[in-house]
Structure 1
Amino acid sequence: MTDRSFLEWPFFEDRHRELATALETWCVENLGTVDHSDTDAATVALVRMLGEGGWLRYSGPDPEAPAPLDVRSLCLIRETLARHDGLADFAFAMQGLGMGAVSLSGSSGQREWLARTRKGAALSAFALSEPASGSDVASLATTAVRDGSHYVLNGEKTWISNGGIADVYTVFARTGEAEGARGLTAFLVPADTPGLEITERLEVMAPHPLARLTFRDLRIGADAVIGTPGEGFKVAMSVLDVFRSTVAAAALGFARAALDASLERVRARQLFGAPLSELQMVQGHIADMALDVDASALLIYRAAWTKDTGAARVSREAAMAKLFATDQAQRVIDKAVQLHGGDGVRVGSVPERLYREIRALRIYEGASDVQKVVIARATLKNT
């Protein structure tokens, strides 16, 4: 059983501990029933299950509620889901990321979509990255030209999670109010809008629904603008500021799963007439893994607690959490593969699955090198 003593840390309130306990029970009872042989179908099924279970109400909180956003809850949910099923974590996260802009900045009409995604009745996607614009958001090239009461979108997006199966996309395009980051706008685009094409489905080593999108003279009403024209970069960063900590939490869930599997392995496996766990070298690996897990958790829940207690921005804290937790989870999982020996690279084993799952987290929503830039700039500015 995964160590749960961290729930007693002062970052958490009783409602967080109750949430973690309830979700743990739900995961054990439900996630083993989903067939993953068809990734698209599995993702849709998981979204529906999460909606029916009530968990998606955390993914895109009602902006009019007394407490519209609780990052600690988001992190606890992603950590728990990732520990049980990486695709379940993906399904939850994309509902939140895709509707994050609407939750934080959307109009009352746009929130009708939020109501659907919170129930699992619709899938959402966040369309920001482009073939020549990933980490450098300010250089994106997709354009949205004003034409009376409409905008006309042209361009391309790639590596879009839920691409091809989403019902609605949050799309970022250049509207030209100013140069660079100050000339971007966010739009809410239903998937059936004429001019939106799924150009390519992308296959990756840990199966997730991903696609390249093309916009060809797509016309959308001005009421599709999320927030204010020209403020799209701020909208995007406000969403990533929240969800970057949750990526770290997903990595933590993978790391805990690797540690759990390793503890079971070294206790059961005999070598030279004794359990592996009695070898000092093995104990050293276990100590390193436990240290990396706890240090990651401290950074993650510090960032989440800081945001929940009123900080306007947590870019530095979130960047530290994501950088450290994703990098250390990679180390923990690699040690788990080593401790499992040949079984660690057998297709379908827990370490092999985790080994494929973790690598992408060091790239998306801000690659590790980009997080170092964020941390360095914040440190230089504040000291």
Structure 2
Amino acid sequence: MEHADVAVIGGGQSGLAAAHALRERGLEPVVLEASERAAGSWPRYYDSLTLFSPAQCSSLPGMPFGGAPDRYPHRDEVVAYLLRYAARLDADIRTRTRIHEVRSDGDGFTLSVEGGGQLSVPAVVAASGTFGRPCRPPLPGLEDFTGVVLHAADYRAPESFAGQRVVVVGAGNSAVQIAAELAVHARVTLAARHPVRFARQLTLGRDLHWWLKRTGIDTLPVGRFLRTPPAQLVIDDGRYRSAVAAGTPDRRPLFTGIDAAKVTWADGSTEEVDTIVLATGYRPDLGYLAPLGALDQGGHPLHREGASTVHPGLAYVGLEWQRSLSSNSLRGVGRDANRVARRLAAHLRRH
């Protein structure tokens, strides 16, 4: 059986930040990435996606994003940045390596790789993100819908929906952006239980993230006090608010039922719908930790600011609100990775 200092599960932004922090403390991590590139889920996001934060606020530790600092990088720029970062990291990064399960092995862990192979380590960082576990909430009548249902994780571009009647479920950034670009090609409704809440991208000429950093809100350690994450604000330069106000897409409360292809709205009216897009978020993709008893009944990790409360050698990086608002973002994941690496290095010295 192969041995290593630390296994980092996931080779996207969180795993790369964790590997950097661990190497800074003299450890030799093995980064295990399920996909073919060390770029996490970024290559699989929808085609038009851009960062919500400008380039100058979107770097991992040790390497600036580069280019014009005030621009909002496209998905493919982020992929290229992460690949450059991985190449400069000088770490053992193994792609096409999906972990089947992690089991306790005395003071450490044994990782089983899908397709065969095992790795023994005294410490594990779970940094596999959420993209592999889309949230599909039980919506009224959805199981009876005879049209097409897809999650935002499966959405790429709007052209194939031309002429359709589409309902996008959600009220966050992805829901609004997908609905707005679909509305150029199709008749689209944005449906959710709660109203859309917009946040101005620029205030007094400064990006929202500049203000979040300046005021300290971005790093405020309130994550452990939140039972459920706050409703997501839609970061907007004015385009999306205007589109919703113009009815492209139109905004309605969530449908109350579905009969075959017919959707029933809150006012009692019905109409046929071709496609429902669920922009309903994701949940931590951590099923491989189930043998450890490290997850609650909903599959969420039992932790305190990224440190497992079940196993001292287990930690997390990249969880939503792990410690602060920016915990699962390019701009903030490095701070959490440093804290986790410091704890794990101390744990390994003691053992």
Which protein has the bigger strand share?
2
The two structures have a TM-score, normalised by structure 1, of: 0.26
Higher relative contact order (CA 8 A, sep 6+): 2
The two structures have a TM-score, normalised by structure 2, of: 0.28
Which protein has the bigger helix share?
1
